[in-house]
């Protein structure tokens, strides 16, 4: 049984598919192709330049899908707050902030019904990368510190590698939502460095996982998504 305490999340919604494609048409193609295997979609910076980003949010909602806006807002607190407040006009379920406590707190004050997620440390960064950026601590310490701060100022959760989830569940209130990217059901040969597989993420206490390339690059993407959903269901089986 998973260590997560957020058991009221529908199992089918725990898989988020990353719509990392350049156009709305391609995004909708993937939504059609994956059908009932995916109910939660993450849309990030690649689609932002398509010109149809916010139109796509509405179309996903009309199809009964949930939307995770992953734009990692980072700017002076007032500007971050204005961006998040503007986002409340759309049917957005989650969005990300990548900044200090002042930015997170400003965003939390205007987030409305959106679940606000603080980015801790990108899964493409390892301890050597963090050291080169000036962080005098390892990834686990950084993630734990940022998670505690995010929850304290009014955020709902964090984005974290599955490797740090046990520390989060041991050291932070269990109401914290934990979303884990960098999921690699198969051998990892890309730019993600701090990775776990599907079962490891949920057994550690993750609430959601984000999967992109392992589904998109599969010979049968819908079947790959279905296999992940089956693994998730097993993690939560009584």
Strand, helix or coil for residue 174: coil
Q: What radius of gyration do the chain's Cα atoms show?
A: 17
- Residue 209 to residue 201: CA distance in whole angstroms: 8
Residue range(s) defining the domain that contains residue 121: 11-235
| Residue 5 covered by a domain | no
Q: What residues in the chain have per-residue pLDDT under 70?
A: 1-5, 121-138, 184-195, 238
| Residue 126 covered by a domain | yes
The reply to whether 156 belongs to the active site is no
Catalytic residue among 66, 70, 193, 207: 70
| Residue 65 labeled ligand binder | no
| Residue 23 covered by a domain | yes
| CATH code (residue 130) | 3.20.20.70
The reported pLDDT for the residue numbered 2 is 43
Catalytic residue among 8, 52, 66, 75: 75
The reported pLDDT for the residue numbered 86 is 97
What's phi and psi for 19, nearest 5 deg?
A: -85, 65
Cα 207 to its chain centre, rounded Å, is: 10
| Residue 42 labeled ligand binder | yes
The reply to whether 72 belongs to the active site is yes
The reported pLDDT for the residue numbered 99 is 78
| Residue 3 covered by a domain | no
- Residue 150 to residue 36: CA distance in whole angstroms: 33
- Taking the model in full, what pTM does it have? 0.88
Domains of the chain: total: 1
Which tokens is 33 given?
């192709």
The reply to whether 8 belongs to the active site is no
| Residue 6 covered by a domain | no
The reported pLDDT for the residue numbered 191 is 45
| Residue 186 covered by a domain | yes
């Amino acid at each position: 049984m998973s260590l997560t305490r957020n058991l009221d999340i529908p199992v089918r919604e725990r898989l988020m598919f990353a719509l990392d494609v350049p156009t709305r048409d391609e995004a909708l193609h993937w939504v059609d192709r994956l059908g009932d295997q995916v109910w939660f979609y993450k849309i990030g910076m690649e689609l932002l330049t398509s010109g149809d980003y916010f139109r796509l949010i509405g179309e996903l909602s009309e199809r009964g899908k949930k939307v995770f806006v992953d734009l990692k807002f980072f700017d002076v607190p007032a500007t971050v707050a204005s961006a998040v407040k503007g986002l409340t006009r759309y049917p957005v379920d989650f969005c990300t902030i990548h900044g200090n406590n002042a930015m997170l707190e400003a965003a939390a004050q205007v987030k409305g019904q959106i679940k606000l997620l603080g980015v801790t440390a990108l899964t493409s960064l390892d301890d050597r990368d963090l050291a080169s950026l000036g962080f005098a601590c390892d990834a686990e310490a950084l993630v734990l510190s940022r998670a505690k701060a995010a929850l304290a100022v009014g955020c709902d959760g964090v984005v974290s590698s599955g490797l740090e989830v046990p520390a989060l569940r041991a050291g932070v209130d269990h109401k914290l939502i934990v979303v884990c990217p960098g999921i690699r059901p198969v051998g990892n040969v890309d730019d993600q460095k701090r990775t776990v597989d599907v079962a490891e993420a949920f057994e550690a206490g993750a609430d959601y996982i984000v999967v992109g390339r392992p589904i998109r690059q599969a010979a049968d993407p819908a079947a790959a998504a279905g296999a992940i959903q089956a693994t998730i269901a097993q993690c939560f089986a009584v």
